[in-house]
């Protein structure tokens, strides 16, 4: 059972393993969108986004609805949008740490440079 859950998680993370697919999921976390609107928001051509949407569909991350000749996509479960929001929070929490480390390194380099000039 635990191995099945790990496989499931790995499959979801694998499907989200491309920045375009992450962007699609982030936009869809705000609600259903047509393929055309997704292309505009993500900034890619329809052929490109269709490939990414197929991967997300195959992993049951998104669902579709047809209205005339338009196809609309939505997240199968809004919880995934919340997971990505938590990842965003995680990024910014650790970004602060990285920035602090870089500032400390910059200070050390400046001190070393000043000592070398003496």
pLDDT of 92 reads 86
pLDDT of 30 reads 95
Q: Which tens digit of pLDDT belongs to each residue from 71-98?
A: 999 999 999 999 999 999 988 888 888 8
Band the pLDDT of 2: cuts 50, 70, 90: confident
Q: Taking Cα atoms as reference points, which of 81, 61, 49 lies closest to residue 8?
A: 61
Question: What is the distance between the alpha carbons of residues 33 and 23, in angstroms, rounded to a whole number?
Answer: 13
Arithmetic mean of pLDDT, 34-58:
96
Q: Round the average pLDDT of the chain to a whole number and report it.
A: 92
Phi, psi at 20, each rounded to 5°:
-65, -40
Q: What SS3 state is found at 60?
A: coil
Question: What is the distance between the alpha carbons of residues 24 and 53, in angstroms, rounded to a whole number?
Answer: 8
Band the pLDDT of 108: cuts 50, 70, 90: confident
Arithmetic mean of pLDDT, 43-63:
95
Phi, psi at 75, each rounded to 5°:
-70, 140
Cβ within 8 Å of residue 20, ≥6 positions away: 42, 44, 48, 49, 52
């Amino acid at each position: 059972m635990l191995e099945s859950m790990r496989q499931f998680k790995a499959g979801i993370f694998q499907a989200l393993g491309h920045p375009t697919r992450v962007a699609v999921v982030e936009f869809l976390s705000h609600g259903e969108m047509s393929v055309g609107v997704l292309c505009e928001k993500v900034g890619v051509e329809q052929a490109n986004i269709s490939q990414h949407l197929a991967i997300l569909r195959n992993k049951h991350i998104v669902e579709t609805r047809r209205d005339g000749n338009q196809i609309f996509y939505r997240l199968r479960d809004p919880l995934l949008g919340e997971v990505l929001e938590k990842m965003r929070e995680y990024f910014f929490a650790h970004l602060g740490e990285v920035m602090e480390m870089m500032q400390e390194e910059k200070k050390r380099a400046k001190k070393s440079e000043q000592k070398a000039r003496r």
